[in-house]
């Protein structure tokens, strides 16, 4: 069975219209006014207060699995009391909050929020919360060409977070937590059955230490520096877990400019390893909007162990627009005798960027990737892939 999916994540429905207005305005006028049409529209949906700025964008999208979807996405950026601009700072670490709500014609309901916060002193915090009822597909565990698939709905509440303390400006140690409650419903197909761990869903609560080394000049859009993260999360029986396992991972990214800050090269590498009784929905995923972006369905390739590497060229164009080129390769392995270096998957692709907030390089991104095994994916979301 050939798997070829184009998955469209939330898209700002005004974006294409705004690009069109900008182009028309440039053609019909020899000179641009101080505020063009697009800036005026953004002003309408922007609240600029003393403590924070909020811009509320509409969203819409389509995928074969989820149908037509629509929602809203406010973007909150909190002002630093000491200095509102990142100029002359060694590190720019703003606090941002991005909630969103999305519904679709095929039953999707998704409510989520992500918060990146640098508090008083040396404290650094990152939290996400999600409630969703989402249609999904099970292809088996690391099956290259599945003979059959199962459709199901996953009702999930989850929260993930990190709280760390800076020993210096660049070294952080702290605690990582992960809590989920999954309910698997309306299974259609025989491949997802009671022989698959996690078939009935369950509760999971993991805790563990985390270490971070961060010299990026800007955590939202780095132009130089590096970021290393190493963590272990355990899901023991005494925390009322339905499944007992542990998860180790390390991730590293490095950034540098070419000639000037309009041309940025980003490098990223990751290795994840799991062991124990792992439900299928917790297995490492090779695809998605931040990993191998040609794999539109993250469940397409899943397994206990995962590695990947990717490179990205980021280029400022004009006004709020930018573009990227990216390439990556990786694999999942560990079950059914699979080997780390057999059937490696790769991705190449390109994307566009639209700066959501005037004084911060927080981008809405549109990425299209294609790769081997007839995989291709279109992603529209916020924040950079790494």
Domain membership of residue 266 (yes or no) is yes
Beta strands in the chain (DSSP E): 46-48, 52-63, 67-78, 95-104, 109-118, 123-138, 150-166, 171-188, 202-214, 225-235, 245-258, 260-276, 284-285, 302-303, 305-318, 321-333, 345-357, 360-371, 375-382
Q: Which of 52, 64, 153, 56 minimizes the C-alpha distance to 110?
A: 153
Domain membership of residue 107 (yes or no) is no
CA distances from 148 to 91, 142, 288 (A): 50, 13, 22
What is the distance between the alpha carbons of residues 152 and 150, in angstroms, rounded to a whole number?
7
Round the average pLDDT of the chain to a whole number and report it.
85
pLDDT tens per residue across span 150-201 = 999 999 999 999 999 999 989 999 999 999 999 999 999 999 999 999 999 9
Domain membership of residue 251 (yes or no) is yes
Whichever domain contains 349, its CATH number is: 2.40.160.50
The residue-averaged pLDDT of 275-285 equals 95
Token pair, residue 314, equals 């980021």
Token pair, residue 287, equals 């695809």
Token pair, residue 30, equals 């020899």
Position 120 scores a pLDDT of 65
The yes-or-no verdict on residue 3 having pLDDT over 70 is no
Domain membership of residue 13 (yes or no) is no
Domain membership of residue 172 (yes or no) is yes
Q: Identify the weakest region by mean pLDDT among 50-59, 131-140, 193-202.
A: 50-59
Domain of residue 170, residue span: 113-382
Position 18 scores a pLDDT of 40
**Count of Cβ atoms closer than 10 Å to residue 79 Cβ:** 16
Residue 73: phi, psi to the nearest 5? Answer: -140, 100
Domain membership of residue 197 (yes or no) is yes
The yes-or-no verdict on residue 74 having pLDDT over 80 is yes
- 2-28 residues labelled b (16+ CB within 10 A) or e (exposed): ebebebbbbbbebbeebeebbeeeeee
| Cα end-to-end span (Å), the chain | 32
Domain membership of residue 25 (yes or no) is no
CB of 292 within 8 A of CB of 347? yes
Position 5 scores a pLDDT of 38
pLDDT tens per residue across span 333-366 = 998 778 899 899 999 999 999 988 777 888 988 8
pLDDT tens per residue across span 323-333 = 999 999 999 99
CA distances from 360 to 48, 96, 376 (A): 14, 10, 31
Element (H, E) at 220: none
CA distances from 107 to 8, 70, 135, 228 (A): 16, 12, 7, 39
pLDDT tens per residue across span 229-238 = 999 999 999 9
CB of 126 within 8 A of CB of 115? yes
What is the distance between the alpha carbons of residues 317 and 3, in angstroms, rounded to a whole number?
35
Domain membership of residue 152 (yes or no) is yes
Position 380 scores a pLDDT of 80
189: left (phi over 0), alpha (psi -120 to 50) or beta: left
Considering its fold, how many domains does the chain have in total? 1
């Amino acid at each position: 069975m050939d798997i070829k999916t184009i998955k469209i994540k939330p898209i700002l429905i005004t974006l294409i219209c705004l690009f069109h207005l900008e182009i028309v305005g440039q053609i019909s006028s020899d000179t641009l006014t101080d505020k063009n049409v697009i800036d005026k529209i953004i002003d309408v949906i922007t609240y600029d207060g003393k403590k924070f700025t909020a811009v509320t964008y509409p969203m819409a999208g389509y995928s074969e699995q989820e149908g037509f979807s629509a929602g809203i996405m406010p973007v909150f950026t909190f002002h630093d009391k000491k200095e509102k601009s990142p100029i002359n700072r060694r590190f720019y670490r703003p606090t941002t909050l991005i909630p969103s709500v999305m519904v679709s014609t095929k039953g999707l309901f998704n409510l989520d929020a992500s918060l990146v916060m640098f508090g008083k002193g040396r404290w650094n915090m990152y939290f996400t919360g999600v409630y969703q009822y989402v249609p999904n597909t099970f292809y088996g565990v690391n099956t290259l060409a599945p003979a059959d698939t199962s459709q199901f709905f996953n009702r999930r509440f989850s929260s993930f977070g990190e709280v760390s303390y800076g020993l210096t400006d660049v070294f952080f140690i702290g605690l990582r937590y992960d809590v989920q409650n999954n309910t698997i419903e309306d299974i259609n197909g025989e491949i997802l059955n009671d022989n698959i761990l996690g078939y009935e869903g369950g509760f999971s609560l993991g805790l563990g230490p985390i270490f971070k080394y961060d010299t990026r000049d800007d955590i939202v859009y780095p132009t130089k520096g590096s970021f290393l993260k190493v963590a272990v999360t355990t899901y023991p029986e005494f925390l009322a877990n339905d499944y007992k396992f542990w998860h180790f991972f390390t991730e590293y990214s490095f950034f540098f400019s070419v000639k000037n800050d309009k041309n940025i090269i980003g490098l990223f590498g990751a290795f994840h390893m799991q062991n124990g009784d792992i439900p299928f929905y917790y297995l490492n995923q090779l695809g998605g909007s931040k990993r191998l972006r040609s794999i539109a369905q993250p469940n397409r390739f899943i397994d206990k162990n995962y590695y990947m590497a990717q490179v990205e060229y980021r280029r400022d164009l004009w006004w709020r627009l930018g573009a990227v080129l990216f390439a990556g390769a990786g694999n999942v392995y560990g079950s059914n005798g699979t080997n780390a270096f057999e059937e490696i998957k790769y991705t190449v692709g390109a994307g566009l960027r639209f700066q959501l907030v005037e004084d911060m390089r927080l981008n809405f991104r549109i990425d299209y990737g294609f790769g081997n095994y007839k995989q291709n994916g279109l992603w529209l979301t916020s924040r950079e892939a790494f």
